[in-house]
Structure 1
Amino acid sequence: DTPSRDEQILSMIDEFVAVANRLKDEGNDTDLVNAAFMLASGNYATFLAAGNQGYLKEDGIRKIAEAYKHNLTLLQDLKKAQFNPDGKN
């Protein structure tokens, strides 16, 4: 039984959050942990788009920012369904 793509993603999210929580529990400020994760994610996205020796031009930055916005919107829709299943305020 191979996990679905969504199941794999959710499992990886749990791992990333566990690392973030460990860093927080070690005394790091949550804003610092968040900034580091965002920059690490941006670094990895840049690597995927441009390789180790490359960087993003304005159009590449825009495309990745749009992907982040799309994924953040999907996450918020999931959270809304989880915490507000009846659609009430």
Structure 2
Amino acid sequence: MLRTIDLRGRVLSPAELLAVVPRADSARDEALVIAARIVDDVAVRGEEALREQAAQFDHVTDHAIAVPASHLDEALDSLDPGVRAALEEA
């Protein structure tokens, strides 16, 4: 049964919002297990796994795996300098 939580007209901090809106721990745990399986599959089988997952989840086939360099350059150019510096340091 779904529970309705009416938040209209309320301004909540992130902590208050988390306290009001329940989280399903089991769903989160299941999602983490599935995500780990996907990552492990790509680590083991590489491009073949990526292509299968693209077909399964996005219904996309016969596409380029590599991101064109021009797209990467464009993304870097539009990135906030502080964020870029933090990413480069990390």
Report the TM-score when normalising by structure 2: 0.31
Q: Which of the two has greater helix per residue? A: 1
